[in-house]
Structures are given as C-alpha cells and as structure tokens.
C-alpha cells in the first residue's frame, strides 16, 4: 500500500482575550503577560494572538479567574491567591505566608509534581494553570511608626491583601482592603497605620516614604509569589498540540523573565528610595516568630477540613524542608561572602 | 488597488545537529539541551528538529563551539568558559570566580544588556549566544585532607577546570585537567589531593566521598554558571523570524527549567551524601579572601589589554554591586529566617 501523502496543515488562527488582574502601572507584572503574548505571537507569525487587557477594562481585577472559569474570556493573568475566599487551595498556586521562595517554587512546580497537583485542583474549577511570573521576596510594607516588638503590631490598621490578612490578624493587626490608588491618602491622613504593596520598584512610584517612612523587611507573606496564566479548561483542550507547547514554553520563559526584570529594577529603586527618605528596618524577631506560628495554626485549621489544600500544602512543605537544608550550604555561603565584600566596598 | 491575497506559507523543515559538551551521564545539564529540543519540536509539529549528540560522538566536548564557529555543526550546547584560552571574554558568558549568582546573571542577561553585549563579542567569533541552563552555586570540591587555612592550599594538586585554574594557582594550588571518569582513581591513588565536579546530585554518582571525604563549600568559582546554546551565525541568520522566536523562547524556558531540576535534585542528594560519609566543611575565610583578591588581580590584568573583556566584565561588576545590596534586604532575611526554622526542626 502507498502511504498517504502528507497534507500541509495550516496553523489555525486563534485570538484570545486575556484579562489581567493588574493595572498597566504595575508594568513589570503586567509586562509578564505582554511578554507571554509577544513570544506566542512571534512563534506563530501572529496566528495565535493573546490580547492583554488591564484590570477593569473587561473584568474587575479580582474577578479575572471567575470570568475565565465561566468562559466569558478565554484566559487571564492573575495571582491565584486572590481567590482564596472561594477555596484556600487557590492560594497555594501563588504563595502563602512563609512559603517557598522563587527557586524553590519553580523546583516544586516543574520537578516536584507541583504543576500537576495544582491542575488536579484547578481543573475542578474549570481552569488550566500555567505559572507565569514571580516577584521574588517582597517587602513588608510601609509604617508610620517604628515597630519595636510584637506589641506594636497590636491594633495596627494595615492595608494588606488576601490570605495574608487571615494570618496577620492573629497578631492583632486589623487588615484593610484598599485599592492601590487609595493607599497614599489613607496613610497620609492616618486612616491606616501601615500598608504593603510590592517591593522597591513598584513602591517607589507611589511615594509612600513621604507619609510612612519606615520600610520593613522581609515580606514574610510573599516569599516567592507566582503569577499565573489561567486558561478556560475547554479552551485549553481545544488548542492544537503545537499551540499548547508554544503557550507553555512562552509562560515558562515569561515566568523567569519577570523575575529577571524585577531583579534588574529593584536594586536601583532601593537606592533611590533610601536617598529620598525611606528608612529600612528589619521586622523584630518576635514578630516573625509569632507570624510563623500563626501561619502554622491557619494551615492546620484549613488542612483539617480541606483535603486538596492539605495534599498540596504538605507537598510544598516537605520540599521546602529539604530545600532550605541545601540552601544553607553553597548558595547561602556564596551570597554571604559576596554581601560581606559589598559592605566592605570591595565589590 | 487590490491587496494581494495572503498565501499560506508553510513552515520550513529545518534539521540541525547540536553537539553537547557534556556526556549523557551529566543528565541535568545534558537534559537542558533535550528540553530545548523538545520544546522546539513540539512548537513546530516536528518541522524544526534539533538532534542532540553527546560529547565526543560528533565533536569532542571542549571543541563544540569551534565546530559551530567553523560550520561543521549548526549549533552546540556548551559552557562558553571552556574556550577562555582563545579569549578570556568567552568565560563571561558562563561565569568567572566571584561572578553573578543565578538570578543576577539572568537579570543582567535579559534586562541589563548582557545578551547583546555577549553577542557583540560572540558574533566576532561567528557565533550567536542563547543562555540555556544554569547549575546554581556549585560545591567547592572533594579533599582528601581538611583545609584549615590558606597555608593548606599550598602545593595542593587539584582537579579544577578552565579559567578558575588561572585564579586558584595564585593561591599555590596546582590545577590539574582530568576527565570526569579519571577523577575517582586519581583521588584514590593520591595522584591528586582534591577535585571539583559540580554539586551534590552529579557528585554523588561518582562516589568521591569514599576517597576524599571533605566536601567544601561554596564553589567560589561557580557562582551561577550559565550554559548556552551557541548557533553558527549564518545558520542563525537563515532562520525565519518565527523559528528564531521559538528557539529563543525554548532556550529561555530551558534556562530556568534546568535550574529548577537541580534545585529539586540537590537537596535529596546532599542528605544521601552526608549519610554515606561526606563531611561538609566551609572554606576558611582566609582562603575565600585570598581567592577573591587573586580573582581581582586576574581581572585587572586581562582588562588592561582586552577591551571587550573589560567592557563586559565592568558591566557585570557594576550590576553585581547593586544587586548584592538589594539581596541583603528582603531575600536574605526571608531565607535566613526560614533556615533558622529548618535548623530548629520547625519547617
């Protein structure tokens, strides 16, 4: 018998709307979706087009994944922890307090079965999850007054988003949900005592140091927050194998590309912030210890009644335990030596 | 006038031979080339094929880039520092002693103009450079006897590759070039006193702890070694825009993917090595300080007569100085707190 001649299959034209949970002003995070879109378009000579829309243009930022799940739009670029109120398991696709750092998150996602575990859950939500961006460890926010001990956290009205609020309220903090543009006037008037945003690069644009000069670190609730592209499950399944591969590869590249972008921008922004009045402060040890214990309580409470959360959180925790053992050896000691040189003016 | 009708352009069939500088037994490094190849093949329905060959099958491992430059093969997967003898500028595409760490290297490459700077040089060598993999900070190698101070390095016969040898010989070490498979018997017989390889995952396979149990850290000559896919410049220029985009995106994804793979494998390997007799030791501070000073001397010597080296090295150094300032704030303090929890058995 003769083999059938190969018929040239033309690549299909696919146009998706991708709603971002972020405004264009958060250009590095918003930019990760643009990078993904650019890579996909270039790889397909423009046949597979991802049109990125800023938060609010099609869908409110905090409802992006809901719109994707419902099929209103094909995909979104978001932080899955925004939806923790539907199910705390959502938070594990981004980060939880004292979670995995950037490199550990990638190791767990790409080699520790993390992506499959997350999709086992997200598929029940009609979503396909692709990691797509990371901020690295964020800062712990801006405070009008110094925090000298855990007692100073008591009664503090703090702008802090989402799942972290559930943990920090155990320290006596009163979490406030305030949109980005309203934070500065709230701090200025003293309606709130503190606010967290992202890190030096994004924070600098909002000028917080003028009204709340004490800039605390580390952001223990944001150890390696992973952004993601969430695709409507049916739309994902409709893609050709080549388009699935192109989108996956573009997201994996954008995931690392966004971290590189922040790592390039944050050092300059930090120097500028300090030159303009920001006063860097480490959180007191008793604050970190109490926060860590509060977080463990929250995880135990949720795990007692939520099997998917427990399964995924246990997997992350087991990997984290070993990863932080290894991190103490080569990486840590290399970096500490280099930091010592930096402090001595020898770098 | 009427617009010309769009004519379906079929994607061309392109088959390249990619010679790796590594044996298949270094499966994580070799695997980065395989990941790149897989992503490219899947994205093009198999039309753009990168056939990966292990070191020695087509071309000896340390001559891979030469073969690409000469057009014998279209591309290679290599560490550009292997070719430092042709020009030390090659080394800057991988790493130099006390160079940028993994995240800093990516920030510099993708946002600090690094890729363009490297290609400005590599194009003169008939090569196009695409970062494609990283090991993270490596270990400082296996020693038959303990190193208690700089004096113990004097006269040490050590298997250490390439450019690092030029620095470490200033400490009185006698660098030896020995292929992977010959290291174990050389250590066993005492023909050499020490040997560096990669890190826990790769080192464990070779069983060095049985003959040289002291396992030192950090590998100060390997702070963030970047592997790369090097493409013959004419072959690169012949690619369609879509194929250039697909290969670039595949390399950027593989770059991060390889780091994730090591970060997943090394913790388990480290625990296993220690359980089997490896004794972890930090390099004495005077060794690190002397090595750092020796490295600065080498950079000054080369920079005095090699303008491309100076330009690129100065760019890396300027970024490193700021990056290690910022690294001391959020990332470092987050990780240190988590390491403290790990040590206390609370992670």
- Residue B5, pLDDT above cutoff 50: no
pLDDT value of position A18: 98
Task: Report pTM.
Answer: 0.97
Closest Cβ opposite residue B331 in set A11, A136, A317: A136
Question: Minimal Cα distance from A314: which residue of B?
Answer: B347
pLDDT value of position B9: 64
- Residue B93, pLDDT above cutoff 60: yes
In whole angstroms, give the CA distance from residue B332 to residue B341. Answer: 14
- Residue B83, pLDDT above cutoff 60: yes
- Mean pLDDT, range A296-319, rounded to an integer: 98
The residue of B338, B340, B343, B344 whose CB has the most chain A CBs within 10 angstroms, and thus the best one to mutate to test that interface, is B338
Q: How far is CA A340 from CA A335, A344, B321, B328, in A?
A: 8, 6, 11, 10
Distance, in angstroms, between A261 CA and closest chain B CA?
Answer: 6
Distance, in angstroms, between A147 CA and closest chain B CA?
Answer: 17
Model confidence pLDDT, tens digit, residues A71-102: 999 999 999 999 999 999 999 999 999 999 99
Distance, in angstroms, between A331 CA and closest chain B CA?
Answer: 5
**Do residues B230 and B125 lie in contact, with contact meaning Cβ atoms separated by under 8 Å?**
no
Distance, in angstroms, between B320 CA and closest chain A CA?
Answer: 8
- Residue A7, pLDDT above cutoff 80: no
Closest Cβ opposite residue A334 in set B45, B137, B330: B137
| DSSP-based three-state secondary structure for B4 | coil
3-state SS, B206-220, equals: HCHHHCCCEEEECCC
* Residue B143 dihedral angles phi and psi, to the nearest 5°: -130, 135
Residue A179: pLDDT band (50, 70, 90) is confident
Residue B140: pLDDT band (50, 70, 90) is very high
Burial of A108 (0-12, 13-18, 19+ CB in 10 A): buried
**Do residues B121 and B233 lie in contact, with contact meaning Cβ atoms separated by under 8 Å?**
no
Residues pairing with B282 in the sheet: B217
Question: Minimal Cα distance from A334: which residue of B?
Answer: B218
- Residue A2, pLDDT above cutoff 60: no
Antiparallel, parallel or unpaired: β B174-176 and B75-78: unpaired
In whole angstroms, give the CA distance from residue B159 to residue B176. Answer: 4
Closest Cβ opposite residue B329 in set A280, A337, A338: A280
- Mean pLDDT, range B256-273, rounded to an integer: 98
pLDDT value of position A180: 86
Structure tokens at B180: 């992977």
Residue B161: pLDDT band (50, 70, 90) is confident
Closest listed residue to residue B204, CA positions, set B108, B268, B133: B268
Omega within 30 of 0 (cis) for the link into A236: no
In whole angstroms, give the CA distance from residue B37 to residue B139. Answer: 29
Residue B113: pLDDT band (50, 70, 90) is very high
Question: Minimal Cα distance from B286: which residue of A?
Answer: A337
Structure tokens at A312: 């995924």
Model confidence pLDDT, tens digit, residues A204-249: 999 999 999 999 999 999 999 999 999 999 999 999 999 999 999 9
CB atoms near residue B189 (< 10 Å): 9
pLDDT value of position B2: 52
Lowest-pLDDT range of A69-73, B42-46, B180-184: B180-184
Model confidence pLDDT, tens digit, residues A111-135: 999 999 999 999 999 999 999 999 9
pLDDT value of position A5: 47
Question: Minimal Cα distance from A108: which residue of B?
Answer: B264
Q: Which residues of A touch B327 (CB under 8 A)?
A: 335, 339
pLDDT value of position A10: 80
Q: Which residues contact A185 (CB under 8 A, 6 or more apart)?
A: A191
Question: What is this model's ipTM?
Answer: 0.96
pLDDT value of position B3: 52
| DSSP-based three-state secondary structure for A328 | coil
Alpha helices in chain B (DSSP H): 27-43, 64-70, 102-111, 114-122, 162-168, 180-189, 200-206, 233-238, 241-275, 285-305, 307-327, 330-343
Q: Which residue has the tokens 């087009």?
A: A49
pLDDT value of position A8: 53
Q: Report DSSP state, residue A72.
A: S
Closest Cβ opposite residue A267 in set B252, B282, B326: B326
Structure tokens at A37: 């879109």
**Do residues A202 and A96 lie in contact, with contact meaning Cβ atoms separated by under 8 Å?**
no
């Amino acid at each position: 018998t003769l083999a059938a001649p190969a018929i040239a299959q033309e690549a299909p034209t696919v146009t998706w709307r991708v709603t971002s949970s972020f405004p264009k002003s958060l250009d590095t995070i918003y930019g990760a979706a643009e990078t993904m879109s650019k890579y996909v378009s270039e790889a397909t000579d423009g046949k597979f087009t991802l049109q990125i829309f800023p938060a609010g243009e099609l869908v409110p930022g905090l409802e992006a994944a809901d719109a994707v799940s419902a099929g209103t739009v094909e995909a979104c670029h978001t932080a899955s922890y925004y939806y923790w109120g539907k199910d705390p398991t959502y938070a594990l696709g981004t980060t939880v307090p004292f979670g995995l750092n950037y490199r550990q998150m990638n190791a767990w996602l790409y080699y520790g079965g993390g992506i499959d575990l997350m999709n086992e859950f997200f598929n029940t939500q009609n979503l396909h999850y692709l990691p797509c961006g990371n901020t690295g460890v964020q800062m712990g926010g801006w405070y009008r007054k110094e925090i000298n001990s855990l007692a100073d956290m008591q009664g503090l009205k703090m702008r802090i988003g989402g799942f972290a609020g559930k943990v920090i309220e155990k320290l006596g903090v009163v979490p406030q949900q305030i949109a980005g543009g309203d934070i500065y006037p709230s701090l200025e008037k003293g309606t709130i005592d503190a606010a967290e945003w992202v890190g030096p690069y994004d924070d600098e644009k909002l000028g917080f140091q003028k009204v709340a000069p004490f800039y605390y670190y580390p952001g223990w609730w944001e150890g390696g927050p992973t952004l993601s592209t969430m695709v409507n499950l049916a739309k994902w399944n409709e893609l050709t194998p080549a388009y699935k591969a192109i989108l996956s590869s573009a997201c994996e590249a954008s995931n690392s590309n966004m971290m590189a972008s922040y790592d390039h921008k944050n050092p300059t922004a930090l120097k500028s912030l300090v030159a303009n009045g920001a006063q860097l402060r480490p959180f007191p040890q008793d604050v970190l210890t109490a926060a860590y214990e509060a977080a463990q309580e929250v995880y135990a409470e949720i795990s007692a009644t939520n099997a998917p959360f427990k399964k995924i959180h246990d997997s992350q925790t087991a990997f984290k335990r070993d990863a932080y053992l290894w991190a103490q050896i080569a990486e840590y000691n290399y970096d500490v030596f280099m930091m010592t040189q930096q402090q001595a003016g020898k770098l």
